[in-house]
Chain A
Amino acid sequence: MSSKKVEFLKARLRNTEPSISLDRARLVTEFYRIPSVESPISRKAHLLEYLLKNMKIFINPESIFVGDHGERYRSVPVYPEWGSNWILEDIDTFDTRSTDKLAWGNPGDKEELIKICTEWKGHGFREVVDSKIPEDMQQASLDGLITIGSRIVSTASHMPEYGEIFKKGFRKMIEEIQEKLDSIDHYDYVTQEQKDTWEGMIVTLEAAIQFAHRYVDLAREMAVTEKDEKRKAELIRIAETCERVPEYPPRTFYEAMQFFWFIHLIYQIENAGHNHSVGRFDQFMYPYYEHDIEEGIATDDEIVEMIECMLIKWTEIFELRDHIEAEAYAGFPMWTNITIGGIDSEGKNACNRLTNLFLDAADGAETTQPAISFRYNKKIDRETFRHALKLTQKGLGQPAFFNDDINIPRVLANGCNDIREARDYAIEGCVEAQVPGKTDFRPVAGFINILKVLELAMHNGVDPNTGRQFGPKTGTMDEMDSMEKFMDAYKKQLSYIIDYHLKAYGICSALHSQICPTVFASTLVEGCIEKGRILQKDGAKYSSTGTFVSGVANAADSLAAIDQVCFQQKLLTLAELTDILDHNYEGHEEWHQMLLNKYVHFGNDDDLVDDYCRQVITYCAEENRAHLDSRFGRYELILLNQTYNIWQGRVVGATPDGRKAGEPLANNASPSNGMDRNGPTAVGNSIGKMDTIMVPKGVLVNHKFDPAVAKGEKGLEMLETFVKGYCEAGGQHVQINVVDTATLRDAQVHPENYKNLMVRVAGYSAFFVELDPRVQENIIGRTEHSACC
């Protein structure tokens, strides 16, 4: 049980209906009405200044950290400059949709937003990008052949090195930037852009300091009338803190937390977007923790309470999304990631007392944000590791575990050549390991649907959905007399679509560098001040872009099936198989069933299919890497699709893995739904056969565990073994979900999706879906029981 304050904050978060805030939309519209011919960099810096100066601010009862995203508690601002057409199209759904519903804050708000968006209509970033993307690419996007990322959000995904920023404070940084400005001795188009950048940086840092000072005034004003002495003291502490940070270095844990929050919040205010990650919280906050304890300023309990308050604050930030994303990403995720554990830059175990206190706080606050990443390695402090696993046992899927032995060499193999930096990596977004404060990583070039590409290869480059010749002509199926020939055709199609997709994204991405500079965010990443260049123009020390790949298991399963059925066993020719698929297995249910049940699937530690997976992923990664993004950074492959697997499955006909037309693709890097029949260790071994160090930047796999297996002391030992063994097998990331009753109920209704769900007792185990219904009820009862322990 957390403190009274935390319980109050939790209840407020749960019980406040999220609403739409018009404040930002009004301000940004006002701002752009002011005529100006200044450069986009200056203009964007001044926009942030305008927002921070004029945003409505408030301090919530009981809150100890200040700074909110919208004009009222749990309200979401609107970014019309990033695209207004979609808002106008969706405007009636915001308060009616079934997931992530948003209320209108005041009468007339909806009408006013329509007015604002109508004024912006056709002039937001999205519309500008779309006007520059050729029609055939737009059509390919509509046909589901490619997705083009980052059109209504900034390139986002910032993860600074907070420890370094804290040491300086913004005032010192302003002085350093001023020295850069003073050092310009020749004015030309290059130095002029540097000048705009440096000046813009100073504008945003000054604006951030002034923003904090607005809270000084507000807190003082509120303290005057506050009757409750305790709250009055809290308000005075807020005032004193905001007077100090972010202008000057924080002295205490509390000041450092508020400093952190101003940066995290201003990222969100500067631009639409998400993915802003925290980095190694237990490392950069530790000196302040140690200081407070030594000086007797705070107790462990007070530190835990502060972290709990911050976890709740993280969860209060969310973004406005259209109805499709509101459904796909229900629960307002922002992909804020926080990293704990691991080794330090010297290679020593990095777990400390604060790591454990953070885990306690996460346990108490029970928030959905941020995602917690725990770095595991052989030197890890076992007690802290087990502490993290105990959180997992509760079934929240938190924390996810990351394997240092894969991620450190991976960072080194992809641009970084400093082992100390690599050891200091943290997770950003979902599963991407980066060097905090030195990297500008763009998470979403888009999702490449490699199963759709396989379909193209089986149709000589034609999309059977539309009849359009999309890919190159790589040969009819009659010509495919060997598996090598078919693989060759598939690779040619992959190369084509990767090139095509990255060209389309490149158009969007290059526009970001011209018209969407993130000036404040650039100030906080190493390299940008030095070079006088924004992140979007290769300012950061390391720059790269992620390409998501979807349909991994399906493609591997399909290739293994083709190899066996058409070439090894010669039961069908490739043309015959294609014909069966074109008819969605109609009249050939036996083939549908055989391909589902009789042929090997990825995730079972079977070398044939696992090797197809390895081959395809390596090929895609190399093809991606061969392209440079709009900042001349590399494209890196990430094996995840979130919930796009459903949407992307709709455009793919029946495939040789036994998947029928329109069915979802496999989730992330996981095996196809229910096809891993040999338990989680076999999944780990299959995953580990990929070149996880060199190739994919992230490999997202969720494992489901029977709660009876995962609970108790033996369950803890089992989870510990699983994570260790999985890492040794070569896994990059592992997330364990202890299955809940709802899942078991769903398995009763849709057994086809849960063929892999095992239940175990001594000397006996069984697949849940094969059990007698009465026995299933029994097990559900057991699960319900364990859930309340």
Chain B
Amino acid sequence: MEQLTGRIFNIQKCSIRDGRGMRTTVFFKGCGLKCLWCANPEGISFKPEVSLNPNNCMGCGFCLKKCPSQAVYLDDAGQMNFDRTKCTGCGTCAALCPTEARKLFGEEYTVDKLFHRIYQDRFYFEHSGGGVTFSGGEALMQPEFLCAISRKCREYKINVAIETCGCGDYEKFAPCLDYIDFIYFDIKHMDSGMHRKITGQGNEKILKNLELINEHGIEICIRTPVVPGWNDSDENIRATAEYISSLSSVRRYELLAYHKLGVNKYKILGRQYPLDDVVEPAEEHMLHLVDVANEVLLKAGKKCFYNKDNSADE
């Protein structure tokens, strides 16, 4: 029988901003949305992908010699080139590349293999109330695997959180919810048209999923990445706050400031960064939006916050 595997593009230990305590964050490959500002562009596609950082290339030519799809080729001038349309993401080149100029994003993990990596930091989890956070990409879009790994974590009393944009199929991911302790749920925009514009999808299914998840009673923290010019209007934040006011499992609403840390990844994936002209939001603006949301939320016994530094949550 073929073993169940998940496709993972990164495992990050010692994370402290993805839930309670010290955590290991596991990034699932593939996402249903395609946000303009995505900081993890290597997580968008479900397929394994090869990145190329020409600055690290030493010109050994291993990739040229061994690529089974001739995606690496010599052009007329004798220069090595990379035709991404031909690349199947088999990873042969990345495995050979001595300098890691080529890297493969998307590795198959069995439940046991992934659990081993998570379990390594158990001492640190125990002392901080930490655990594992499944992020991505979109963890809910690999529901079978997510369910299996979460169940295993529950068996070992490891706290499980997910960071989701909510774009999976509820029927498929619902079984996972029995093993999840905490959910970060993104609402990128309340207006479906704008949502489609900035993420490629309308928000109807996402909000429906949120309402269904809400019924389960797992604590949810709503998050909005604040992207100046796109979703940072008072109206949008207020609308979000109003919407979540009635959701019983939601206690907090976190605003995250847009950042450009992912810019370089677009380059090495051969893509154009779509938001080059957007600047990071000023702290005052973030705090203003927190006030806007709290006008609504405090009445509902909920709270919005923005965590610039490591001050304790709330």
**Partner-B contacts on A (CB < 8 A):** 589-594, 597-598, 605, 678-682, 685, 708-715, 717-718, 720-722, 724-726, 728-729, 758-766, 770-772, 774-775, 778, 786
Q: Point out the residues of chain B lying under 8 angstroms from A590, CB to CB.
A: 58, 60, 62, 98
Contact with A along B97-111 (1 / 0, CB 8 A): 011100000000000
B163 CB–A CB distance under 8 Å: yes
Please pick, from A592, A597, A713, A717, the residue contacting B128 in the complex, using a CB distance under 8 A.
Answer: A717
Chain B residue at minimal CB-CB distance from A785? B309
Q: Complex: how many Å from CA A484 to CA B25?
A: 38
Q: List 22 A-B contacts (CB under 8 A).
A: A589-B60, A592-B98, A597-B100, A678-B13, A682-B121, A708-B310, A709-B310, A711-B310, A712-B309, A714-B310, A714-B311, A718-B14, A718-B128, A721-B22, A721-B130, A728-B127, A758-B14, A760-B15, A760-B17, A762-B223, A762-B307, A763-B256
Starting from the known contacts A589-B60, A714-B310, 17 additional A-B residue pairs (CB-CB under 8 Å) come to: A590-B58, A679-B13, A681-B121, A681-B124, A682-B120, A710-B310, A713-B310, A713-B312, A714-B312, A717-B128, A720-B128, A721-B130, A724-B124, A725-B121, A760-B17, A762-B18, A763-B18
* 7 tightest Cβ-Cβ pairs between the two chains A and B: A712-B310, A593-B98, A725-B124, A714-B310, A721-B128, A713-B312, A725-B123
* Shortest CB distance A677–B (Å): 10
Q: Complex: how many Å from CA A756 to CA B119?
A: 21
Please pick, from B120, B121, B264, B310, the residue contacting A715 in the complex, using a CB distance under 8 A.
Answer: B310
Give B5-24 interface residues, CB cut-off 8 Å to A.
12-18, 21-22
Q: Complex: how many Å from CA A589 to CA B100?
A: 13
Q: Complex: how many Å from CA A694 to CA B58?
A: 45
Chain B residue at minimal CB-CB distance from A727? B123
Q: Complex: how many Å from CA A713 to CA B308?
A: 12
Do A771 and B98 have beta carbons less than 8 Å apart? no
Do B310 and A728 have beta carbons less than 8 Å apart? no
Please pick, from A680, A725, A766, the residue contacting B261 in the complex, using a CB distance under 8 A.
Answer: A766
Do A775 and B15 have beta carbons less than 8 Å apart? no
Q: Complex: how many Å from CA A591 to CA B22?
A: 37
Do A775 and B261 have beta carbons less than 8 Å apart? yes
On chain B, which size bracket covers the interface?
Answer: 35 or more
Q: Point out the residues of chain A lying under 8 angstroms from B40, CB to CB.
A: 763-764
Do A597 and B120 have beta carbons less than 8 Å apart? no
Q: Complex: how many Å from CA A593 to CA B60?
A: 11
Give the residue among A685, A759, A774 with the most B Cβ atoms within 10 A: A685
Do B120 and A685 have beta carbons less than 8 Å apart? yes
Do A681 and B309 have beta carbons less than 8 Å apart? no
Q: Point out the residues of chain A lying under 8 angstroms from B18, CB to CB.
A: 762-763
Q: Point out the residues of chain A lying under 8 angstroms from B39, CB to CB.
A: 763-764
Q: Point out the residues of chain A lying under 8 angstroms from B128, CB to CB.
A: 717-718, 720-721, 725
Q: Point out the residues of chain B lying under 8 angstroms from A758, CB to CB.
A: 14
Do B15 and A682 have beta carbons less than 8 Å apart? no
Q: Point out the residues of chain A lying under 8 angstroms from B196, CB to CB.
A: none
B158 CB–A CB distance under 8 Å: no
Contact with A along B28-72 (1 / 0, CB 8 A): 000000000001100000000000000000101010000000000
Chain A residue at minimal CB-CB distance from B280? A778
Chain B residue at minimal CB-CB distance from A773? B264
Please pick, from A714, A766, A775, A786, the residue contacting B313 in the complex, using a CB distance under 8 A.
Answer: A714
Please pick, from A679, A708, A720, A775, the residue contacting B127 in the complex, using a CB distance under 8 A.
Answer: A720
Do B261 and A722 have beta carbons less than 8 Å apart? no
Q: Point out the residues of chain B lying under 8 angstroms from A722, CB to CB.
A: 14, 22, 124
Contact with A along B71-102 (1 / 0, CB 8 A): 00000000000000000000000000011100
Do A711 and B264 have beta carbons less than 8 Å apart? no
Chain B residue at minimal CB-CB distance from A658? B98
Q: Point out the residues of chain A lying under 8 angstroms from B17, CB to CB.
A: 760-763
* Shortest CB distance B15–A (Å): 7
Q: Point out the residues of chain A lying under 8 angstroms from B135, CB to CB.
A: 763
Do A775 and B263 have beta carbons less than 8 Å apart? yes
Chain A residue at minimal CB-CB distance from B21? A721
Q: Complex: how many Å from CA A95 to CA B261?
A: 48
Do B312 and A717 have beta carbons less than 8 Å apart? yes
Do B264 and A593 have beta carbons less than 8 Å apart? no
Do B261 and A729 have beta carbons less than 8 Å apart? no
Q: Point out the residues of chain B lying under 8 angstroms from A764, CB to CB.
A: 39-40, 259, 261-262
Do A589 and B58 have beta carbons less than 8 Å apart? yes
Q: Complex: how many Å from CA A720 to CA B58?
A: 42
Please pick, from A593, A681, A710, the residue contacting B13 in the complex, using a CB distance under 8 A.
Answer: A681
Q: Complex: how many Å from CA A260 to CA B290?
A: 56
Q: Complex: how many Å from CA A692 to CA B46?
A: 44
Do A711 and B124 have beta carbons less than 8 Å apart? no
